[in-house]
Amino acid sequence: MRRLTTLFPSEFLEEHAEELGVVEREGKLQVPVLVWALVFGFAAGESRTLAGFRRSYNSTADETISPGGFY
């Protein structure tokens, strides 16, 4: 985990997401948290549903996102 977060720091993930047009508008979504929730929580976890992914994201993020906002 430490190696990956060193290779891909939050600033890099945010800049790369902006270049790719991943985020269309500023809001509560935190791109680095989204990436790490996917890599560490969702991909390796036993619950591989969108609801499970949202729970993984919300457990890591500063602000939680409602189901409607997440989808």
- Is residue 10 situated within a structural domain? no
Domain count, the chain: 1
Domain with 47, as residue range(s), is 28-70
- Is residue 50 situated within a structural domain? yes
* pLDDT value, residue 11: 92
Tens-digit pLDDT profile for residues 6-61: 888 999 999 999 899 887 777 788 899 888 888 877 666 566 788 888 888 898 88
Closest CA to 41 of 17, 59, 24, 25: 59
The DSSP annotation for 22-69 comes to --SS-SS--HHHHHHIIIIIITTSS--SHHHHHHHHHHHSSS---HHH
